[in-house]
Structure 1
Amino acid sequence: MVSADNLNIDILEAIFSHLAGSDLHSVVLVSKSFYDGVLPHLYRTLTYTIRHGKTFPRCSPFMALLRASALAKFVQHIDISYVPVLQKSISSRPQFDSVFLDEFRQVLELCTNLTTFTCIQNILPSILSGLSKKPTLTSLRVHISDLVPSQAGSLCQLNNLRTLFLDHSSWAMMDALPKWTGSLGTNLRTLALYNCADLNELILERSLPNLPNLANLHVVGCMRIDHIVLFRLLVHTPNLEGLSFTTTTDSSKILEKTSDLKHLRNVAIDTRFSMSSTQPVPAILSDIFFHFKKSSVALASLKIKVSEPQVVMGSGFIEQLLATTAYTLKRLSFIGCSIKLESLTSICKACPQLDRLDVCIPNLTDPLNQARFVDALNRSMTLRTIVDTDDHTAHGAHFVLRQTDVLKLVTDVPLLRTIVSDRKVWKRKPTLRPGVVMERIGSRQKTPTPWFMTTEQLY
């Protein structure tokens, strides 16, 4: 007679893969066979956030693995977003807890099946010996501002990576990048360089030819590499599908002869300028979209982030954007800026495939604003998700989306399914009578995906 206890272990693992963490803790107490089936899922992902840091050293997530080293073979993903500090220093450089770093390094050495590693804290020099010799590692995201040449050389031994994200990279790591990309070769699909002050055109020009299969390139916040330089180097990446870059106030236009971007689908633009600039941001972006149109780019996703607060994108720019991307666009994001309600109406009318829109939601307590906002959204037959990009950093009173506002929105816009605002996710109930369910975006999640990337590109 077949029972749950004598099911094949592979079947149990497949079943338990659909359960959440709290349910897994209960299932593990049922029986020995259930315990064996749950173990790979309980230890598959090791995360450490500020919530865990409050209990250190009284409670350490690494001690269980150090005491039972056989469990380390199940760890495939490590995500460290917080590291305990000994004391708050007057300087900007924190003094990290040496006990934590030592335990973490020992655990890293035990995790022989590691596939993804993320650490946004500047601790890599202290744990580098544990990270080396990981042939199964395919995704790496690290903060490496303090690496010296010998340490950079050790990191370059990781040559099976498909995703590489370097955050605040040191000059030594930038010097070693051409050599590292040479060993990665056809394996690497995603390269992200974020706030790397020492990255220059020569280094990038020597690195990109080594990566013929590169599908996603993100060069953001690297002030020596602007959009003009980057577009000139795209000739080395013929298969590029995702591109992120930083624009500057340079009055020069993109070169007339650049690479063919026929595969490009996802673009994120980090626009940095000053109000006194001779070339305002819409003019810079207009040059870029003109180039996209000439290259017959069919964008599915477009994100625009503006560093200057309280910028309103003009109607003329929106018209040019739609003329270039309207028929293929599925996701559109305006971060750090806003658009007029007339422009919102034009977007919803002109984009037949638009599924998600990230914009600043206007003050819905004003009946006129609410009516015009609802009318704009109803112009789209495909829009399912609205994300509020207002970060509430400006001075003055702020509009906060309440449950009654959300309920009215999903009632007045029947096709709308999800609204995200103020770290809350509102979802329409799957019932005939309109209703919403709210979920909070808490700190228990993994390290947030950078705004210019998607989860698929990162992992």
Structure 2
Amino acid sequence: MGSTVPWNADVLDIIISHLPSRDIASLALTNSYMMACASPHLYSTLAFTFSMAREYPALKTPFSTVCAHPELAVHVRHVDISTIPFAGARFSAVFLREADEALAICDNLVSFRCSANAVIAFIPVLRDKRWLRSMRVNVDTYPHIRCAELLDLPLLSDLALDWMPVHVSHMLPVWTIILGETLTSLTIFMSASMNEDLLKSALQQLPGLLELHVVGCPQLYHDAVLGLTHLTPRLKRLSVSAKFDLAGGADTPLSLPNLQHLSIDVRLTSAPIGMSSELSAMAVATLVGRIADLPQPPHLKSLRIRAPSHSSIHFILLNQLASSFSSVSLEDVSFLDCSFDPKSLSAFAKYCATSVSLEALEIALPMRDLVGFARALSSSRSLRVLRIQHQMVAPDAIRYLLKSVPALQEIWTKNGIWTARSGDRVAFEPTVIDSHDGLDKYWFAR
């Protein structure tokens, strides 16, 4: 690759697109030709993460680089700001100025994410981005007098609003009238002011919506959201918060004929000591059962369940999944932030055996009963990928699982991907996972 003879640019572009970011950066330093080929990939996304903020201002930001080299701005398609560094008790004015100046010259911007509570500094410059289609912003302290500026943004197809205050919530139905023909994905995250009437007014303008995520909103639990899905008949992705003690939910009519991906955030307002796992399981099992029993049940492909802390995967939920989705196309299941109860091994084995389409599973390993867990996994003839959450797992345990579960091909851990080699199920090598470390991402988003 260090040859002075130029490679075919199209071929090189394809090769670079498959390389990790760190390798692309090294390749760009080889010569000016490689730099020219690598720059569109290196500067496609300008990201500022939590780890970068800890090293600021000693660390040069990608925004300052673009300001110093304006010719790079043409390559920028995505901006992702997970946090903003402080200067004393305030956000760094230098950082905000550099980011604003960089955004001003990024005319090809397609998506903008700002999880920090400072989006007001960027809205004026975003109004001129004609290619902007996706936006996630924290509007917690967005001032009432400047709400009208949001209505002047380009016609978005993907809108995510975090921590909406009352005045922004009341403006959402007006905003959706403007975005009615273009918006296909709407996310409302952690908004105490959003209620069923406001959501209904917004969804009435969005019959073509394909994705709806309403998570962490105390006035909008699963029944309120599900009761409005008849307004969005094309919905393919849905995320809701579920609680067990909601009364009268069973009578709410549902309409989810095209749903393929479901994420459930379980929230227990009150639970007796030692009962959180059982109540969480009952909440999810009830919801899953209702969806599976619809006259026109959806063909779910993925299911993500996030339980309250200190909960475990209960056999009630596993039995419901086995009876509801054993013969349909559920391919990917994730149990997030919950441990595995060894008492549920028999139900887990039954679920693995009956889920004929299950290809990927995300779960916490029960290290105290790894043998029983592996035996249960081996009941599946379709499982190919196992994702292990937030755990440091010994290589011997990885090797044991790959050896004990014939269908298993990959195990994804915190530090990389272990792959079983054909013909020799004992020789494994970890592969580094390339990702934007530190970016603030929704747990329910892929």
Report the secondary structure of 1:264's partner residue: coil
Contact 1:73 1:112 in 2 (8 A): yes
Contact 1:234 1:258 in 2 (8 A): no
1:447 deviation in Å?
1.8
- Separation in 2, partners of 1:208, 1:101: 34
Superposition map of 1:371-386 within 5 A: 371-386=371-386
Alignment partner of 1:298 is 2:299:
yes
Equivalent of residue 353 in structure 1, options 333, 352, 357: 357
Contact 1:174 1:198 in 2 (8 A): yes
1:66 deviation in Å?
1.4
Change (3 A) 1:116 1:313: same
- Separation in 2, partners of 1:443, 1:32: 26
* Aligned equivalent of 2:308: 307
Query: Where does structure 1 lack aligned partners over 5 or more consecutive residues?
Result: 90-94, 393-399, 455-459
1:103 deviation in Å?
0.9
1:67 deviation in Å?
2.3
Contact 1:305 1:334 in 2 (8 A): yes
- Separation in 2, partners of 1:141, 1:272: 24
Please say which of residues 256-265 and 200-209 is displaced more in the overlay.
256-265
Contact 1:426 1:438 in 2 (8 A): yes
Equivalent of residue 427 in structure 2, options 435, 442, 451: 435
Contact 1:5 1:33 in 2 (8 A): no
Please say which of residues 343-352 and 434-443 is displaced more in the overlay.
434-443
Change (3 A) 1:27 1:309: closer
Alignment partner of 1:185 is 2:183:
no
Equivalent of residue 113 in structure 2, options 111, 118, 122: 118
- Separation in 2, partners of 1:259, 1:363: 40
Contact 1:232 1:255 in 2 (8 A): no
* Aligned equivalent of 1:396: none
- Separation in 2, partners of 1:258, 1:126: 43
* Aligned equivalent of 1:397: none
Equivalent of residue 367 in structure 2, options 363, 369, 372: 363
Change (3 A) 1:29 1:272: closer
Change (3 A) 1:231 1:25: closer
Alignment partner of 1:174 is 2:169:
yes
Equivalent of residue 238 in structure 1, options 208, 233, 242: 233
- Separation in 2, partners of 1:319, 1:16: 46
Change (3 A) 1:411 1:287: closer
- Separation in 2, partners of 1:167, 1:248: 21
Contact 1:385 1:419 in 2 (8 A): yes
1:323 deviation in Å?
1.6
1:245 deviation in Å?
0.7
Superposition map of 1:32-431 within 5 A: 32-61=32-61, 62-87=63-88, 95-256=90-251, 258-273=253-268, 274-276=270-272, 280-295=279-294, 296-315=297-316, 317-327=317-327, 328-337=329-338, 338-339=340-341, 340-364=344-368, 369-389=369-389, 400-421=392-413, 423-431=414-422
- Separation in 1, partners of 2:64, 2:256: 50
Contact 1:426 1:436 in 2 (8 A): no
1:113 deviation in Å?
0.5
**Alignment deviations for residues 257-283 of structure 1 (CA, whole Å, 9 cap, x no partner):** 524211111111111113239993344
1:451 deviation in Å?
1.7
Which AA in structure 1 matches 2:164?
S
TM-score (structure 1 length as normaliser)? 0.86
Which AA in structure 2 matches 1:357?
L
1:446 deviation in Å?
5.9
- Separation in 1, partners of 2:193, 2:308: 22
Report the secondary structure of 1:187's partner residue: coil
Contact 2:78 2:111 in 1 (8 A): yes
Contact 1:238 1:259 in 2 (8 A): no
Contact 2:20 2:434 in 1 (8 A): no
- Separation in 2, partners of 1:28, 1:251: 57
**Alignment deviations for residues 333-365 of structure 1 (CA, whole Å, 9 cap, x no partner):** 22233341112101110100101112221125x
TM-score (structure 2 length as normaliser)? 0.88
Change (3 A) 1:208 1:312: same
- Separation in 2, partners of 1:298, 1:77: 32
* Aligned equivalent of 1:395: none
Change (3 A) 1:53 1:131: same
How much identity, in percent, do the aligned residues show?
27
1:385 deviation in Å?
1.8
Which AA in structure 1 matches 2:300?
L
**Alignment deviations for residues 374-405 of structure 1 (CA, whole Å, 9 cap, x no partner):** 2111111111122234x58xxxxxxx520111
Please say which of residues 294-303 and 151-160 is displaced more in the overlay.
151-160
Contact 1:9 1:33 in 2 (8 A): no
1:30 deviation in Å?
4.8
Which AA in structure 2 matches 1:314?
F
Change (3 A) 1:203 1:363: same
Contact 1:254 1:287 in 2 (8 A): no
Query: Where does structure 2 lack aligned partners over 5 or more consecutive residues?
Result: none
Report the secondary structure of 1:436's partner residue: coil
What is the aligned residue count?
432
Change (3 A) 1:307 1:22: closer
Please say which of residues 319-328 and 198-207 is displaced more in the overlay.
319-328
- Separation in 2, partners of 1:67, 1:312: 52
Superposition map of 1:22-37 within 5 A: 22-37=22-37
- Separation in 2, partners of 1:189, 1:446: 27
- Separation in 2, partners of 1:286, 1:32: 58
Superposition map of 1:437-456 within 5 A: 437-439=429-431, 444-445=436-437, 447-454=439-446
Change (3 A) 1:386 1:280: same
Report the secondary structure of 2:444's partner residue: coil
Report the secondary structure of 2:203's partner residue: helix
**Alignment deviations for residues 409-446 of structure 1 (CA, whole Å, 9 cap, x no partner):** 1112232222234x233412535322222346688436
1:33 deviation in Å?
4.0
Contact 2:345 2:372 in 1 (8 A): yes
Report the secondary structure of 2:152's partner residue: coil
